[in-house]
Structure 1
């Protein structure tokens, strides 16, 4: 099957969670928003689906995946579909449910990371909510970041199959997603992450193993890998970071 990934062009964002799975699974896929130098074409293709013109089941927002006749939205939902098809999902029911639960926790983590720079709403510019963003960033750095990283550290410790993976004994989409969280937060909050990582050595070791896996290493070195920037999910505003 050739998959089609629909996400806004020019930013890794939430689409990167899906790209990483497709790359790690060696899938044949098209990144619709970025396959042409004409970004307007990619945006128009996305909006065709959002408006219900191309499917009876229109997504609320990207990312969404077209797989044959199926249109699947939401990162956790997409990865639950792709995981077993790409060999990146546990084989037993308990493991599958656990992996999905962890992915939903990463969804919460993602939302809180985004809200650092847009605490009042996405319809406002960062500059319109900068004071509130500074308050949210302090709360995230002091409380939520160590809580999330500490949780995944404990999950790795408690994995009956060993500390190399979050679920089972082989790479899953959840490992890939946690890798992206670490990458994004290192970009957005380098000082805060340098401190927080000291309390989560297993999370960082997992990140490094994912980065060095052959398919992911090749992807990161390719022009398919999009750079972080101040238009996406993870944004670097120095004034929001520790000692910024």
Structure 2
């Protein structure tokens, strides 16, 4: 199966969650934004039934929203648990990842994406303080518990093998280490840390991270490092 991924060419962003699944599985895909530019992505949105990227298409259909895309491709890419109940739980946790990513984004853009960061610095500082003291520990504790409580594996979040959820948690932890290194270090997350190391060693992921296809985190994406928004260095 060959896919076309539509996402903005200069940032990892939400498209990275989809890329990681495709790269881990060694799937054949075209990264349209990086091959043809942002205009091709904008045209796909204009012509189709999608509000925003990422959008993934095959020869039959196109699907948007990260959690929806990952649910769609997880089985053909062999990145889904075998049990149907576990599949639903995986999707449930993936939607929680979506909530987490939204809150991370809103630390630097609490008044909305149409304003520059410099236009909402005061609100961002207040939002980040609450995120660091309250929301970040709650999300991390939840995913840490899901990892340690999995009855089928002491390596993965759900079922007996790596799933798209594990790849997404890997990306979130990488992003948090870039955006909030001090705040993250203040939270004990041994299971998530080990998961991050385990995913990084997977053949497809390791090759991708070492390639020119992988774009570094930057100040235009979801995970942005503003020292004034991070917690104190401990």
TM-score band w.r.t. shorter chain: over 0.9
Q: How far apart, CA to CA, are the structure 2 residues paired with 1:68 and 1:95?
A: 29
- Whether 1:27 aligns to 2:27 is yes
Gaps of 5+ in 1: 36-40
Q: How many residues align?
A: 233
Question: Within 5 A, what are the aligned runs for 1:35-74?
Answer: 35=35, 41-52=36-47, 55=48, 58-74=49-65
Match of 1:8 in 2: 8
Query: Aligned runs of 1:83-98 on 2, under 5 Å?
Result: 83-98=74-89
How far residue 142 of structure 1 moved from its aligned partner, in angstroms, is: 0.7
1:212 matches 2:204:
no
Q: What is the CA-CA distance between 1:219 and the residue it aligns to?
A: 0.7
Contact kept, 8 Å, 1:188 with 1:236, in 2: the verdict is yes
Q: Is the 8 A contact 1:32 1:42 kept in 2?
A: yes
Partner of 1:185: 176
- How far has the Cα of 1:19 moved from its partner? 0.3
- Out of 103, 118, 130, the residue aligned to residue 121 of structure 2 is 130
Correspondence for 2:214: 225
Root-mean-square deviation (Å): 1.0
Query: What is the TM-score when the length of structure 2 is the normalising length?
Result: 0.97
Q: 2:141 aligns with which of 136, 150, 154?
A: 150
Counterpart CA distance in 2 for 1:178 and 1:67 is 25
Aligned partners of 1:163 and 1:202 also within 8 Å: no
Please identify runs of 4+ aligned residues in structure 1 that moved more than 4 A: none
TM-score by length of 1: 0.93
Report SS of the residue matched to 1:85.
coil
The equivalent of 1:76 in structure 2 is 67
Q: Which runs of 5+ in 2 are unaligned?
A: none
In the alignment, the residues of structure 2 paired with residue 242 and residue 48 of structure 1 have an alpha-carbon distance, to the nearest angstrom, of 40
